[in-house]
Amino acid sequence: MTRLAERHCAACNGDTPRLDDATIKAHLDALSEHWEPDGPDAIEGRFKFKNYYHTQAFVNAVAYIAHCEDHHPDITFGYNRCSIRLTTHAMGGLSDNDFICAAKIDRLLP
């Protein structure tokens, strides 16, 4: 299987099947410790930074990844923290796209 960060998001719709629990667990195991399930239909990453400048730079980089992959997370941030929630809105659950974006976001970390 190709590493998640090397893949690209694919278009999904309401007919796209949600990932099963075993696949979700395997994908989560491939991500950094920042990611965890957020209910049955999403994953959330929580990140801490030195200051606002580093946090904002991270958020801008995440926004660029989201734009390039056409997969858009919910992002909240403050002075030295950022939370990113990924779900595939078109199908109302988790798809490979969520984990692909999370893996690409992990690559931003030192």
Q: What are phi and psi of 102, to 5 degrees?
A: -60, -40
Tens-binned pLDDT, residue by residue, of the chain (110 aa): 469 999 999 998 888 889 999 999 999 999 999 999 999 999 999 999 999 999 999 999 999 999 999 999 999 999 999 999 999 989 889 999 999 999 999 999 98
The verdict on pTM exceeding 0.85 is: yes
Name all domains of the chain by residue range, CATH numbers in brackets.
37-110 (3.30.1360.20)
